[in-house]
Structure 1
Amino acid sequence: MNTAHPTITTPVTPALLRGFLDLEPTAHGLLPHRLPARARRQIPDEQLAMAEAQPSGVRLAFRTRATTVELDTLPTKRAYLGLPAPADGVYDLLVDGRLAAQSTVTGGNVRTIDLASGAAELTEGPPGTARFTGLPASAKDVEIWLPHTEITELIALRTDAPVELAPDSGRRVWLHHGSSISHGSNATHPTAIWPALAAAQGGVELLNLGFGGSALLDPFTARAVRDTPADLISLKLGINIVNADVMRLRAFVPAVHGFLDTVREGHPATPLLVVSPVLCPVQEDTPGPLAPDFTQGTVRFKATGDPAERAAGRLTLTVIREALARIVEQRAADDPHLHHLDGRELYGERDYAAWPLPDEVHPGPEGHRRIAENFARHVFATDGPFAARPDRAPD
């Protein structure tokens, strides 16, 4: 910290945070969650428990003249048995909405996952500090976006000038639910995940409920969406259902209806967009489950189902897209604020040819940018389902 100015410690409180649904007090500080406590008590597996605690889209927001900012945290990082250790997660600092600095926190806990068995082992480590220096001395709005793939316990915020709460932006709140692509898999830093990029282009406040491997139509997730204030809602559904092989067509269709029914209980007239899966060649016409493939020295994925079993109700991305289109068409007759978007409009054949999926399932950084651009073009455009309509009040 700059010794020419006194160090000011500001408690991390809910008023300083955006993009979360719950805060859990810990021995070190506060742990942001993206599902409420009631929902977390119903989580049946470690995958979702880990994913919802990773703060994708969660950020601190404040106003200050500080030139130096420090954030003490205890990260819990994810590693995979037999693969190189991943890089430390990135903290993005934005000044007046623009990326101005980045930092990392070394150390912390490490959860090592065996992809073959699903077993995980936790190794504990010390807290660390994300430090940002050389910021402009003028009054400015600052956001610190937390690493999207590291569980992050918030300990202390220190600055060399006082901190004030950020003013209300007046922007609409966009709640998005989806899978690992929405969570940010393979994006290099938290404001480079496609929902963050799309939110910036659309001029909205993001609340990201993208959960890696866990967009499985869980009723407790539907209730969380139902009970959360939002001006715009999108649901990107289907790919995890296929790659986990958790349903057949007979169960999938009523499960989607039930999910939408629950959301509509709390948001009867909010613009609601159902998005089907983006292109993923290994699952277009081959059912899951997915299995990791290490034969090329890095983790890739392959579908292991039998395409012949589609006739018996086994799900593929092609089947899912057709079902979602039918469901939305049927419901839209009585729900004029319900919309559908084919995910291949976000990432399709031409996008795959230009920017292939590095692991056959998740896009790389350029893929995230392309998805965001296409989403903004289709959804936030003046004739899109999320177009600004000043005369329309939220639910």
Structure 2
Amino acid sequence: MNTELTTIPITAELVRGALELERTEHGLLTRRLPAWARAQFSDLQLSMVEPQSSGVRLALRTRATTVELDALPTKRGFAGIPPLPDGGYDLLVDGELAARTTVPGGNRLVLDATTGGSELLPGDPGTARFTGLPDRLKDVEIWLPHNEVTELVALRADAPVEPLPDRGRPVWLHHGSSISHGSNATAPTGIWPAVAALGGGVELVNLGFGGSALLDPFTARAMRDTPADLISVKIGINLVNSDSMRVRTFVPAVHGFLDTVREGHPETPLLVISPIHCPIHEDTPGPGAPDFSSGRLSFRATGDPAEVAQGRLTLRVIREELARVVRERAQTDPNLRYLDGEELYGPEDHAELPLPDALHPDAAAHQRIGERFAALATAEGGFFTAR
């Protein structure tokens, strides 16, 4: 094998899981919402998480034994607590994890949870280097960090590279909260949607946005316009912990979101998933609040359970309303289904694998949720087999 590396142009054909690529002074920034949608919000939280590369990967076919990717990451941290670990770059060969590495350095975005302010500390690009790959023609995927913004700078290999051809797998378009985004997972292929997609043999497009699954119309329109064979929306936790709706506005908003998705995908299998078990918000409304009293980030609910009767949302209320909405709509929409999130992670799972920050699953729980979803989805008549 030739040990000399050749620079490979990074084109849209090599990138999967991003809705858009934005040209920057360094290279290409992966985007998970199109420019027209980004122009319709000014929220700092969504602006921060939308370009993070959850579910985004390079997909190649090559004989290369060495592959290098130069990238400029933007890493997020909180003032006053130790930096988070560097995001991972997972390399898969023919669908199996073969190597994992990180890119040191990069930009660092430091958030102040008490003031809401932030400071961007500029840095330099680094290199994810993979060596010793099998000397044969193979499918190679490089999954980018789910919890970092990634600008793709340069790709090099010691053999020709071509875009991974269509393998006939259905495209699964998913939208959800930070749990779908991958919070507390430790690797890009360890977030539950990636675990489910790899286990179920589907191509993932992950529109999981930390703190931002709020039934936004622009997200529904982006999903409407994105080609997909399977679609799912995981609704609930952000609506509770943001305290942004009441039952009166929640139910019509769900209908409107689903109506918009259906404009572009009238007969595509569409799955509505309710929240996983989360004790702080099961019967206590939001808003949620960060808690650093233990020296690390955790969360607590601050609402009054007595106000549920006046329409305040809890996870229990949301599950009941979502099940009802889907049951009623399914009378005229046979391709619409409902999945109770507690089937993926329920009270017994919480007793065994508690949420470490009281809100997000840890790596082991992400794995369990993904495996359970894949098992349900690939069973006879399941979501992944519903086309």
**What TM-score do the two structures reach when normalised by structure 2?**
0.98
Task: For structure 2, list consecutive stretches of 5 or more residues without a partner in the other structure.
Answer: none
Equivalent residues in 2 for 1:205-354, closer than 5 Å: 205-354=203-352
Residue 78 of structure 1 is aligned with which of 69, 76, 79? 76
Alignment pair present for 1:361 and 2:359: yes
Give yes or no for contact 2:60–2:139 (8 Å, CA) kept in 1.
yes
Give yes or no for contact 2:269–2:386 (8 Å, CA) kept in 1.
no
Distance 2:386 2:312 in 1: 40
Residue 141 of structure 1 is aligned with which of 135, 139, 142? 139
Number of matched pairs: 387
| Deviations, residues 251-306 of structure 1 (Å, cap 9, x unaligned) | 10100000000000000000000000000000000011111111112111000001
Once the two structures are TM-superposed, the CA of residue 26 in structure 1 deviates from its matched residue by: 0.2
Distance 2:276 2:19 in 1: 27
Once the two structures are TM-superposed, the CA of residue 234 in structure 1 deviates from its matched residue by: 0.5
Alignment pair present for 1:129 and 2:127: yes
Distance 1:178 1:117 in 2: 27
4+ runs deviating over 4 angstroms: none
Alignment pair present for 1:155 and 2:148: no
Distance 2:131 2:114 in 1: 43
Once the two structures are TM-superposed, the CA of residue 354 in structure 1 deviates from its matched residue by: 1.0
Alignment pair present for 1:116 and 2:117: no
Once the two structures are TM-superposed, the CA of residue 376 in structure 1 deviates from its matched residue by: 1.6
Aligned partner of residue 240 in structure 1, secondary structure: helix
Aligned equivalent of 1:393 = none
Once the two structures are TM-superposed, the CA of residue 377 in structure 1 deviates from its matched residue by: 2.3
Distance 1:388 1:180 in 2: 27
Question: Which amino acid in the other structure matches residue 233 of structure 2?
Answer: L
Deviates further, 10-19 or 287-296: 287-296
Aligned equivalent of 2:5 = 7
Aligned equivalent of 1:372 = 370
Distance 1:161 1:336 in 2: 48
Once the two structures are TM-superposed, the CA of residue 321 in structure 1 deviates from its matched residue by: 0.7
Distance 1:73 1:20 in 2: 16
Distance 1:252 1:117 in 2: 29
Aligned partner of residue 138 in structure 1, secondary structure: coil
Distance 2:187 2:278 in 1: 23
Distance 1:138 1:387 in 2: 32
Distance 1:187 1:131 in 2: 22
Question: Which amino acid in the other structure matches residue 149 of structure 1?
Answer: N
Aligned partner of residue 358 in structure 2, secondary structure: coil
Distance 2:231 2:317 in 1: 24
Aligned partner of residue 251 in structure 1, secondary structure: helix
Once the two structures are TM-superposed, the CA of residue 379 in structure 1 deviates from its matched residue by: 2.4
Once the two structures are TM-superposed, the CA of residue 141 in structure 1 deviates from its matched residue by: 0.8
Residue 62 of structure 1 is aligned with which of 60, 63, 68? 60
Aligned equivalent of 1:181 = 179
| Deviations, residues 21-59 of structure 1 (Å, cap 9, x unaligned) | 011000011001000111011123111111110010000
Question: Which amino acid in the other structure matches residue 41 of structure 1?
Answer: A
Once the two structures are TM-superposed, the CA of residue 385 in structure 1 deviates from its matched residue by: 3.0
Aligned partner of residue 369 in structure 1, secondary structure: helix
Identity over aligned residues, as a percent? 68
Give yes or no for contact 2:51–2:149 (8 Å, CA) kept in 1.
yes
Once the two structures are TM-superposed, the CA of residue 167 in structure 1 deviates from its matched residue by: 1.7
Distance 1:146 1:178 in 2: 19
Pick closer, same or farther for the CA change 1:102–1:385 going to 2, 3 Å. closer
Aligned partner of residue 60 in structure 2, secondary structure: strand
Give yes or no for contact 2:32–2:207 (8 Å, CA) kept in 1.
yes
Distance 2:114 2:204 in 1: 34
**What TM-score do the two structures reach when normalised by structure 1?**
0.96
Distance 1:280 1:167 in 2: 41
Distance 2:183 2:74 in 1: 17
Aligned equivalent of 2:195 = 197
| Deviations, residues 306-350 of structure 1 (Å, cap 9, x unaligned) | 111111111110111111011111111110000001100010011
Residue 96 of structure 1 is aligned with which of 88, 91, 94? 94
Question: Which amino acid in the other structure matches residue 137 of structure 2?
Answer: A
Question: Which amino acid in the other structure matches residue 10 of structure 2?
Answer: V
Once the two structures are TM-superposed, the CA of residue 156 in structure 1 deviates from its matched residue by: 0.5
Once the two structures are TM-superposed, the CA of residue 388 in structure 1 deviates from its matched residue by: 5.1
Distance 2:130 2:87 in 1: 15
Alignment pair present for 1:168 and 2:205: no
Question: Which amino acid in the other structure matches residue 8 of structure 2?
Answer: T
- Give me the CA root mean square deviation: 1.1
Once the two structures are TM-superposed, the CA of residue 383 in structure 1 deviates from its matched residue by: 2.4
Distance 2:113 2:335 in 1: 41
Once the two structures are TM-superposed, the CA of residue 5 in structure 1 deviates from its matched residue by: 2.4
Once the two structures are TM-superposed, the CA of residue 380 in structure 1 deviates from its matched residue by: 2.4
Residue 25 of structure 1 is aligned with which of 23, 26, 32? 23
Give yes or no for contact 2:7–2:154 (8 Å, CA) kept in 1.
yes
Distance 1:388 1:161 in 2: 39
